[in-house]
Amino acid sequence: MITVELLEKYGVIKKSFDKNDIIFEEGNLPLHYYQIISGEVKMSNYNDDGREFIQGIFYNGQSFGEPPLFLNQKYPANAIAVENTEIFILPKENFIKLLEDNPKVSIKIIENLAQRLYYKSVMAAEISTHEPEHRVLKLIDHGIAYFNFQKDKNGYLINFTRQQIGDLTGLRVETVIRTIKTLEKKGELKIINRKVYR
């Protein structure tokens, strides 16, 4: 996360997106740095059958889409506003200039990329070698630490739909529903009027 003052110094603009608006598309060349002011953004891929895989979900203060920007490669996924969202947008050249002038920001970027790489490493191993129960629990426990799940008297509220959990873990929605029920029976989580708590 880069401070507002710094971004403004380098000519950032604000842009609003409605729910379901496309921010950028897979295959496009990156031209900007994006940082969320408010709202929620998902990055995802669709395969030939229209099946979705969610690479990540981003919230207030988080940036997204930097890797291909640094590599001059095409976006490997789409970025879509999950709800009405406001975003800081900085042209690539200005962003590079900002980094050159402010070495400490580079360290922030490194930490952010490191965090995302860490998540992807964990989930990649989960998706390819573990059963549904393990995958879902791992995602939920990661979410408690890094997505914005709120704690109340029942525990952490996992505010993902069953479909989203499926799209993040590579499982079908029916499988997620059944898996969550099994996990409830085993006492690993609670279901209180259809909402999942951990």
Partner DNA sequence: CTCGTTTTATGATTTTAATCATAAAATGGA
Partner DNA sequence: TCCATTTTATGATTAAAATCATAAAACGAG
* Residues at the interface with its own copies (CB under 8 A): 45, 47, 51-53, 55, 66-71, 73, 76-77, 99-100, 103, 106-107, 109-111, 113-118, 120-125, 127-130, 169-170
Do the Cβ atoms of 188 and 173 come closer than 8 Å? no
Could you tell me whether strands 41-46 and 52-58 are parallel, antiparallel, or unpaired per DSSP bridges?
antiparallel
> DSSP characters for 101-141?
H-HHHHHHHHHHHHHHHHHHHHHHHHHHHS-HHHHHHHHHH
Kindly write out the interface string for residues 99-138 of this chain, putting x where it contacts DNA by CB under 7 A and - elsewhere. --------------------------------xx------
Q: Which one of its own copies, DNA, none interacts with residue 149, CB within 5 to 8 A by kind?
A: none
Q: Kindly state the smallest distance separating residue 65's Cβ from DNA, in Å.
A: 24
Sign of CA dihedral 168, 170, 176, 180: negative
161 binds DNA (CB under 7 A): yes
194 binds DNA (CB under 7 A): yes
191 binds DNA (CB under 7 A): yes
Q: Which of 66, 105, 175, 189 binds DNA (CB under 7 A)?
A: 175
Q: Which one of its own copies, DNA, none interacts with residue 79, CB within 5 to 8 A by kind?
A: none
Do the Cβ atoms of 34 and 23 come closer than 8 Å? yes
Write the Ramachandran bin of 13: left for phi over 0, alpha for psi from -120 to 50, otherwise beta.
Answer: beta
Q: Which one of its own copies, DNA, none interacts with residue 181, CB within 5 to 8 A by kind?
A: DNA
